[in-house]
Amino acid sequence: MSIESLSQLTDPACAPRVVFKVGSALLVGQDGEPRREWLAALVAEIAAARARGQQVIVVSSGAIALGARKLGLARGGRGSLSDAQAAAAVGQIALAGFWAELLAGHGLIAAQVLLTLEDLEDRRRYLNVTATLGTLLAAGAVPVINENDTVATEEIRFGDNDRLAARVGQAASANAVVLLSDIDGLYDRDPRLEGAVRVPVVREVTSEIHAMATAGSSSGLGSGGMTSKLQAAEIAGLAGIALAIIDGRPVAPLAAALAEERGTLFCPPGKARARKAWLGGRLRMKGAVAVDVGAAAALARGSSLLAAGVTRVEGTFSRGDAIAVLGPDNAVLARGLSEYDAAECAALMGRPSPEHEALLGYAPRSALIHRDQLVML
Ligand code: GLU
């Protein structure tokens, strides 16, 4: 059953599996201390969701903010990567402890899962995460997930838990991702401006929608901002998952916001097949190929990408790597897994298929990117 309204997010028939993402600014006060009472009230709402028959995954930020306070680090532990890594190592213990203790108060078992970007970008590791989350949920536990900030370096970091939550939603085949924010949704302009209006429902994240988002978080504790929330909505949408942004600030924020339809709901366009959803949600590409008008049109009709339509090859990639497909205007049209490495792509580009065997010296593949390994954006 597709999700068309925020209130459906509490309905186990529409949303049997939900990811709740809780930002640092909600969990940790400006003084660096955890907001225990607020968290206790949220956990009571999570327990109520469980009692209704919904499975719940929590993506919780706050490790860096909590750890920075304990270690006495400046700028909330975000002054440098090494500060953030050290702060997360200290804060994560406390963070997991709060969740475990409060969930146990409702008879629920917390399961800590720390993930890096690579755990979800690599197909094999992604499937492993999927299996583990499935086992935990089937056993009745509440996975409490954060990025493994202590080992993630700048290049391989999500950096924000919004996109992590969307990726986790994909990996867990969730029906919805709810981002608890310090604002009650997406506004049509900077929400501080007079006349700014909240957008209740978004059916497609267009360039106009992106233009509404202002980067940066107002609290200074988290790292997400509206831009990463829109990216999260796109990732979720590719997997057919609804995503909601609601105001997490009130005590017990879920019931009121969802019942009163106060937030922004991103309705997914349709359900993508699992492998394509994973591919579409990937954040890093190893390279790119540009294509001509004819190939772009063929891709739009659902065809595979043939080397004859390729005009340029960028980057160093191997067979099986994820690459971007750029249109004649250089906009990203699609992503897919390349059947050839970059040098082979360069040798074959612009050349018709019957010539490929002679160019390669071995039997060619049917396409440069097969349509089953390709997702249009
Ligand atoms: N993983 C970070 C933490 O636990 C938070 C990232 C974010 O602000 O979204 O502190």
Total count of residues recorded for the chain: 377
Report how far ligand 1's centroid is from the alpha carbon of 134 (Å).
24
What letter represents residue 357's amino acid? E
Residue with tokens 């004859």: 308
Per-residue pLDDT of 119-162, as tens digits, reads 998 888 999 999 999 999 999 999 999 999 998 877 778 888 99
Q: Using the mean position of ligand 1's atoms as its centre, give its distance from the Cα of residue 235 in Å.
A: 18
- CA 88 to ligand 1 centroid distance, Å: 9
Of 152, 156, 113, whose CA–CA distance to 282 is shortest? 156
User: Which of 331, 315, 321, 308 has the alpha carbon at shortest distance from 377?
Assistant: 331
Q: What is the mean pLDDT of the chain?
A: 90
Q: Is the pLDDT of residue 273 over 90?
A: no
pLDDT for the residue 122: 87
In this structure, are residues 20 and 255 in contact, taking their beta carbons and an 8 Å threshold? no
Residue 24 Cβ inside 6 Å of ligand 1? The answer reads: yes
Which of residues 320 and 56 earns the better pLDDT score?
Answer: 56
Out of 42-56, 65-79, 180-194, 349-363, give the one with best mean pLDDT. 42-56
Domain parsing of the chain, residue ranges: 6-278, 285-376
CA angle 257, 248, 244 (to 5 degrees): 60
Helix H or strand E encompassing 88: helix 81-104
Q: How confident is the model at residue 272 (pLDDT cuts 50, 70, 90)?
A: low
Answer yes or no: is the C-beta of 160 below 6 A from any ligand 1 atom. Answer: yes
CB 161 near ligand 1, within 6 Å: yes
Tell me: the pLDDT tens digits for 194-242? 888 999 999 998 888 888 886 444 444 445 578 899 999 999 998 899 9
61 lines ligand 1 (CB under 6 A): yes
So what's the pLDDT on residue 224? 56
Query: What's the 189 CA to ligand 1 centre distance in angstroms?
Result: 25
* pLDDT above 80 for 1: no
Classified as helix, coil or strand, 46 is helix
From the list 308, 321, 325, the residue with the least C-alpha distance to 359 is 308
Asked if the model's pLDDT at residue 333 lies above 70, the reply is: yes
Q: Under CATH, what is the fold of the domain 285-376?
A: 2.30.130
Residue 377, pLDDT score: 84
Q: Is the pTM of this model over 0.75?
A: yes
| Closest approach atom of ligand 1 to CA 147 | 1
Question: Does domain 6-278 match CATH 3.30.420.40?
Answer: no
